[in-house]
Amino acid sequence: MAEKEKSIDKHNSEAFPFIRGKIIDLCPQKSEYVKLYIKWKNNPKVRKYSRNVVPRTKEQQKKRFEEIREGFRDHISLDIWHKKDKKLIGQCGLAWINWVSGWANAFLFIGEPEYWGKNIATEATELLVEYAFNELNLKKIQGGAAIENIGSWSVAEKVGFKFEGIRKHSMYVDGKFVDVKVHSLHKEDWIKSKKD
């Protein structure tokens, strides 16, 4: 096992769940995993649809940790930990939170491709939605995904997000502009779906 992998495994016992799930837990981000975050954000396969078009450095990522203010803020990021494998595999969270109007933009990516297509993104999204509505008291969550990123918008629809429309040519991917599918989920609809 490589030295870096040993280091990640050593810290698995220190992953304190903030939100517990069945297959995964959502945990606070930790600065000691900065190398892994950078690996994901610079990996061409992982970053293709995640809008990470500028290279990330270790120093830049560390600075982001330093800039995070205590208390309520407009961005909340959580690590996705695979419980059985005791492995950090991705991130999710809420961005551009508008506390007055009660909405936020959801984001999620699985940084380890071998965990794609295993319903992990679905569970992470469900946990994130419950957190946003039940704990943060937000009224609406929205998100956008390139029309070619079928996995991403399929997860949104599976969890209950409704299609709102297309933003034409809103993302530049592989040398061409692509359309973005926009979805949203309202708290009242989510509560109703839980009762059905």
Assess whether pLDDT exceeds 50 at residue 10: no
Averaged pLDDT for residues 166-191: 94
Q: 59-68, 109-118, 158-167 — which is least confidently predicted? A: 59-68
pLDDT at position 99: 95
Average pLDDT of the chain is 87
Q: Under 8 Å CB-to-CB from 122, ≥6 apart: which residues?
A: 155, 158, 159
- Tens of pLDDT along 17-37? 999 999 999 999 888 898 998
Sign of CA dihedral 137, 103, 82, 156: positive
Domain 3-195 has CATH 3.40.630.30: yes
The span from the CA of 76 to the CA of 88, in Å, is 17
Angle between helices 58-67 and 34-42 (to 10 degrees): 120
H-type helices in 48-113, by residue range?
A: 58-67
For residue range 104-159, list pLDDT tens digits in order.
999 999 999 999 999 999 999 999 999 999 999 999 999 999 999 999 999 999 99
pLDDT of 137 reads 97
At 68, the pLDDT band (50, 70, 90 cuts) reads low
**How far apart, in whole angstroms, are the C-alpha atoms of residue 170 and residue 138?**
26
User: pLDDT at residue 72 above 90?
Assistant: no
Q: What integer pLDDT is reported at residue 65 of this predicted model?
A: 64
